[in-house]
Structure 1
């Protein structure tokens, strides 16, 4: 089975309908998770904990897609 890493992160946005962070230095890096299910659980917990702030939003990034060297434009290279 292939490892499929996911990053959960979030913070306060300039506009709640967009994806631009108000302060990039204040982005909350929740963590990297070995599968979508555990990333989703972490995302959901953070999203529910910040539900009172309409400008705060959390995301799940599919790191495994960025690391897939077989994909065009992945931008990753092996060193060595």
Structure 2
């Protein structure tokens, strides 16, 4: 599948949650994960990530991540 034109969809997932330990990526409660959304490119995922990170800046245990889903779906895609 492609977007309009020849530009490929490079899907990115933005999600976050509260970590149980600041030195590890272990979530305190998996049922409380915040799935922000799936975005068609890195730029829009980064914008969403920044917004959520800024909203939770007062909670040191809260972390948001960007997952390059397109790399999981097709490992030959390097972007």
TM-score by length of 1: 0.83
Moved over 6 A (4+): none
Name the SS for the 2:35 alignment partner: strand
Q: Which runs of 5+ in 2 are unaligned?
A: 1-6
Return 5+ residue gaps in structure 1 as ranges: 72-80
Secondary structure in structure 2 of the residue aligned to 1:20: coil
Which of 14, 21, 24 in structure 2 is aligned with 1:15?
A: 21
Mapped contact 1:16–1:56 kept (Cα < 8 A): no
Give the alignment's Cα RMSD to 1 decimal: 1.3
1:46 aligns with 2:49: no
